[in-house]
Amino acid sequence: MRSVPLGGSGIESSAIGLGCLGMSDHYGPVDDAGSLRTLERAADLGVTLWDTADVYGVGANERLLGRWFAGGRRDEIVLATKFGGQLDENGHMTLEVRGDAAYVPRAAEASLRRLGTDRIDLYFLHIPDPAVDIAETVGAMAELVAAGTVRALGLSNVSAAQIRAAAGIHPIAAVQMEWSLFDRGIEESVVPACAEAGAAVVPYSPLGRGLLTGAYTTSRGLDDSDVRHAIPRFDEENAVRNAPLVAAVADIGAAHGATPAQVALAWLLRQGERFGVPVVPIPGSRRAARLEENAGASGLRLTDADLAALEPLAGQVAGANRPPLPPEIAERFGLG
């Protein structure tokens, strides 16, 4: 597993990271014992960037990672967590956010307690608070760096203008956004802004919530609590249209002795070369076998012919990759 620099922070992570959301939320019943084994395997493989957030599983995901850190291998991991999301009285995420200066240190302190550690390596603003200037939020985050409880700063779900504004307050090591072979909306302005700011790009949902693995083209057969039942891309009608696109990815993988997931992740790594930015995808995995498959993508180099064959696929994908949002919420957060 090769290393990738996270901006100018002096921190290096593995080229492929690990998204930990699914271990505690969104994708059916949880299995903490199995997830702990997967975390152990990730460390053994050198998959070092682990991404969580305070709202994942209502704090359960941070506590899960804290249990693993208690085993004594904390220093091997580049720990990323996020703040800003708010929960309702039932523990569900509401899309209400807080980014005011008074809230930032309280959120960090709570995460540190759950994680059982004295530092966060990469602290992300999960989503900007529309009522607060991003300069205020990043200024408060910078104070955590000065205090030594945070090593580097990141942003998530932001615009190019917000990246530039934040970078004017404090160096930004990484920007976490949805980016995959099928979802390429950040390429026009956000990725160039990351290159300008010297920030790495950390793509979330790099496998399209499992669609690009070839294992799931529809929500049929998934647990009733799986969020993909509410995602249009996994509707039966859209599944019929998307299956040939996944098959095209699989065909390229077969020519390399690789899986569709490995092709999708290797494609993202090549985009880093194209745009001149470090790219560290964070595919989610609860099982060691899937983790090992994803980690193997770091050794796959797609040819220029492969890239040309994959180029048109994004524009053909049917269905949105997130549950529908009320129009007023979509407008408020720019998530239309």
pLDDT at 173: 98
For 251-292, the pLDDT digits (tens) are 999 999 999 999 999 999 999 999 999 999 999 999 999 999
Whether 213 contacts 28, CB under 8 Å: no
**Predicted confidence band at 247 (pLDDT cuts at 50, 70, 90)?**
very high
Report how far residue 246's alpha carbon sits from residue 325's, in angstroms, rounded to the nearest whole number. Answer: 26
Whether 123 is catalytic is: no
Mean pLDDT of the chain: 92
Q: Which of 56, 103, 204, 216 is catalytic?
A: 56
Q: Is the pLDDT of residue 7 over 70?
A: yes
| Tens-place pLDDT, residues 305-317 | 999 999 999 889 9
Instruction: Find the mean pLDDT for residues 309-332.
Output: 78
Q: Band the pLDDT of 96: cuts 50, 70, 90.
A: confident
Q: What was the pLDDT predicted at 229? A: 87
Instruction: Determine contact, residues 156/162, Cβ cutoff 8 Å.
Output: no
Share of the chain above pLDDT 70, in %: 94
| 175 vs 39: CA distance, rounded Å | 23
- Cα–Cα distances (Å) from 245 to 76, 240, 249, 267, 307, in that order, read 38, 10, 7, 15, 14
Tell me the Cα Rg of the chain: 19
Q: Which residues contact 7 (CB under 8 A, 6 or more apart)?
A: 152, 171, 172, 173, 174, 197, 198, 199, 200, 278
**pLDDT tens column, 130-179:** 999 999 999 999 999 999 999 999 999 999 999 999 999 999 999 999 99
Residue 89's pLDDT is: 59
Fold classification of 3-216+259-302 (topology level): TIM Barrel (3.20.20)
Q: Can you give the pLDDT at residue 93?
A: 60
Contact present, 86 and 119 (Cβ < 8 Å): no
